[in-house]
């Protein structure tokens, strides 16, 4: 009959083998993933695009779940305490990989700022809160610029349209408005002296 000590030793050996198998599988997957899927380094601009690309990259590596999962805990006195210990160790290893993939996706300047984050979830959440808020502030500022822009007769219309288009291009990059809205907005911004041409453009909208 197998003694409790021998049973625990057998479980430990099996868990060590399981953990090794999991780690080898993760490493094999990492090697298999094309570096073309790796997003460019994030420097503080276009966070939403970078975030989506990084999430896709981590999903391919089967590490995305560590952006939300809390580490497993070990409860004393439980029969499966050895199993729980192995699970915690495996979680720490995968979290280490996930966190460092995100860190390596940051510019050198941001890397130095966020190096103190201990878990992938903590790092991901902080980046999300900070840069989504900044992105919202930028969008709000651009919309205000867009709404307050007024053309005047004292300047060349072509130059003013170009200036207005720069604002619109920034807004389009943020995904705030469509191209058709852009065209309509430029027409509406023309001064009173251009009323005849404005009406002409409105009637010719479909052909244009």
Two tokens, residue 201: 């453009």
Indicate yes or no: pTM above 0.85.
no
Q: Would you write out the chain's pLDDT as a tens digit for each of its 208 residues? A: 545 444 445 555 555 555 555 555 555 544 444 555 688 899 888 888 899 999 999 999 999 999 988 877 766 655 566 677 788 888 899 999 999 999 999 999 999 999 999 999 999 999 988 887 666 666 666 777 777 788 888 888 888 888 888 887 777 776 666 666 667 777 777 777 777 776 776 666 555 5
The helix/strand/coil state of 206 is coil
Q: What is the pLDDT of residue 80?
A: 65
Q: What is the pLDDT of residue 166?
A: 83
Taking the C-alpha atoms of residue 157 and residue 151, their distance in angstroms, rounded to an integer, is 8
Q: How many CA atoms lie within 13 A of 92 on its CB side?
A: 7
Classify each residue of 133-149 as buried b or exposed e, where b means 16 or more C-beta atoms within 10 Å of its C-beta: eebeeeeeebeeebeee
The helix/strand/coil state of 157 is helix
User: To the nearest 5 percent, what fractions of the chain are helix, strand and coil?
Assistant: 70, 0, 25
Q: What is the pLDDT of residue 45?
A: 80
């Amino acid at each position: 009959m197998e003694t409790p000590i021998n049973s625990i030793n057998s479980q430990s050996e099996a868990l060590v083998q399981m953990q090794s198998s999991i780690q080898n599988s993760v490493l094999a997957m990492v090697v298999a993933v094309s570096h073309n899927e790796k997003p460019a380094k994030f420097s503080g601009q276009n966070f939403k695009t970078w975030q989506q690309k990084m999430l896709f990259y981590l999903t391919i590596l089967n590490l995305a779940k560590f952006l939300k999962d809390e580490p497993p805990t070990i409860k004393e006195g439980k029969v499966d305490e050895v199993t729980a210990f192995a699970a915690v160790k495996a979680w720490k290893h995968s979290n280490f990989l996930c966190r460092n993939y995100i860190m390596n996706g940051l510019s050198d300047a941001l890397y130095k700022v966020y190096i103190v984050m201990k878990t992938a979830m903590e790092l991901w959440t902080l980046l999300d809160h900070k840069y989504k808020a900044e992105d919202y502030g930028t969008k709000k500022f651009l919309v205000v610029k867009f709404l307050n822009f007024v053309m005047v007769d004292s300047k060349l219309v072509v130059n003013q349209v170009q200036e207005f288009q720069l604002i619109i291009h920034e807004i389009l990059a943020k995904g705030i408005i469509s191209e058709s809205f852009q065209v309509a907005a430029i027409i509406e911004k023309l001064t009173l002296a251009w009323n005849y041409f404005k009406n002409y453009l409105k009637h010719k909208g479909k052909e244009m």
